């Protein structure tokens, strides 16, 4: 019996910071590939999550939240978002139900006007508002672009995600399977490990620290069949930030390491020995060579 047609393609997730793009991607893929935090600008690279079924494969590009660049890092993030739109088959424009349309949305909408591919308006965080409020929330956006469809979802609880996925699969062209069925991301393990460590820094330290943090995974060595040794530097811009991350008697750094190790062990399926150091590199976000060293490559622009 002949198999039915296989659909595949690339779908960009775009939206203001903190509307839940990474949470949505993680729910769809079923494993942590994009880090989540309530601090704006968490996602810095075009993280690809891969969703595969018997009849389709969707490769998601999770773009950085659109914001006004203030540093070279910010400028990279801006270009990263816009370049993602040149290589896709559909766009999920994600907005938060509990936030009003703002200048950031107008900026995104203006850029999306040139996109020829189908655009879906995904209204996320519907679990935070009363259902009666939805028509008003949708009304802020529905005439802004010729949306293919408007889909209210809760990425946190999984509400209506299946509806969204079914629609996307039907919309995508007939095409090949780009990645093996069991692969969920095209990023190397080193990148994903760095993201997991950075997530813990975001979760545990004060608000002024995260924007100035990068993770440099210096080595990953397998000791035996069950144990992996990982060394990484947490890069900050100022000595005061180093003190915050190390914490009193090293307790904050220890906690970051413990939490990150649990996630990394889940990723690798091995026992992990994780050693972290904190390194001060003044102004790293404005130095192109350092951006490259910490994983922000020109090929991602």
* 68 Cα distance to chain centroid: 18
The CA distance from 276 to 200, in Å, is: 12
Kindly list the distances between the CA atom of residue 265 and the CA atoms of 30, 143, 191, 222, 272, in Å, as whole numbers in the listed order.
16, 46, 15, 13, 6
- Asked if residue 125 belongs to a known ligand binding site, the reply is yes
- Asked if residue 295 belongs to a known ligand binding site, the reply is no
- Asked if residue 287 belongs to a known ligand binding site, the reply is no
Give 144-147 contacts, CB < 8 A, sequence gap 24+: 144/109, 145/93, 145/109, 145/112, 145/113, 145/119, 145/121, 146/119, 147/93, 147/119, 147/120, 147/121
- Asked if residue 64 belongs to a known ligand binding site, the reply is yes
Assign 119 to helix, strand or coil.
strand
Q: β-strands 56-62, 47-52: how paired?
A: antiparallel
The CA distance from 277 to 179, in Å, is: 35
How many Cα neighbours within 13 Å face the side chain of 256? 30
- Asked if residue 20 belongs to a known ligand binding site, the reply is yes
- Asked if residue 282 belongs to a known ligand binding site, the reply is no
- Asked if residue 102 belongs to a known ligand binding site, the reply is no
- Asked if residue 154 belongs to a known ligand binding site, the reply is no
The CA distance from 136 to 147, in Å, is: 17
- Asked if residue 137 belongs to a known ligand binding site, the reply is no
- Asked if residue 62 belongs to a known ligand binding site, the reply is yes
Output phi, psi for 82, to 5 deg. Answer: -70, -35
- Asked if residue 66 belongs to a known ligand binding site, the reply is yes
- Asked if residue 105 belongs to a known ligand binding site, the reply is no
- Asked if residue 21 belongs to a known ligand binding site, the reply is yes
**Would you list which residues are annotated within the binding site?**
15-22, 62-66, 124-127
**Would you list which residues are annotated within the binding site for GTP?**
15-22, 62-66, 124-127
């Amino acid at each position: 019996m002949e198999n039915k047609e296989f659909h595949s393609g690339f779908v960009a997730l775009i939206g203001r910071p903190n509307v839940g793009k990474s949470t949505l991607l993680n729910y769809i893929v079923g494993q942590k590939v994009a880090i989540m935090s309530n601090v704006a600008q968490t996602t810095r690279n075009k993280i690809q999550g891969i969703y595969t079924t018997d009849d389709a494969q969707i490769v998601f590009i999770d773009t950085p939240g659109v914001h006004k660049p203030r540093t070279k890092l910010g400028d990279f993030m801006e270009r990263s978002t816009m370049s993602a739109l040149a290589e896709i088959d559909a766009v999920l424009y994600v907005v938060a139900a509990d936030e009003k349309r703002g200048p950031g949305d107008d900026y995104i909408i203006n850029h999306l006007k040139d996109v020829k591919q189908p655009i879906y308006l995904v209204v996320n965080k519907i679990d935070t508002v009363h259902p009666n409020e939805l028509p008003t929330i949708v009304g802020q956006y529905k005439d802004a672009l010729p949306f293919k469809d408007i889909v209210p979802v809760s990425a946190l609880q999984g509400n209506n995600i299946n509806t969204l996925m079914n629609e996307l699969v039907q919309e995508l062209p007939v095409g090949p399977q780009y990645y093996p069925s069991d692969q969920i991301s095209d990023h190397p393990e080193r990148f994903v490990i760095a993201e997991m460590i950075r997530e813990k820094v975001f979760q545990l330290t004060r608000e002024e620290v995260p924007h100035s943090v990068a993770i440099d995974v210096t080595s990953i060595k397998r000791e035996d069949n069950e144990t992996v040794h990982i060394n990484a530097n947490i890069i900050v811009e100022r000595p005061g930030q180093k003190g915050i991350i190390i914490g009193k008697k090293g307790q904050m750094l220890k906690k970051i390491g413990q939490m990150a190790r649990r996630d990394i062990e889940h990723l690798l399926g091995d026992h992990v020995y994780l050693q972290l150091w904190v390194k001060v590199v003044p102004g790293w976000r404005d130095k192109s060579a350092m951006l490259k060293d910490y994983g922000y490559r020109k090929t991602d622009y």
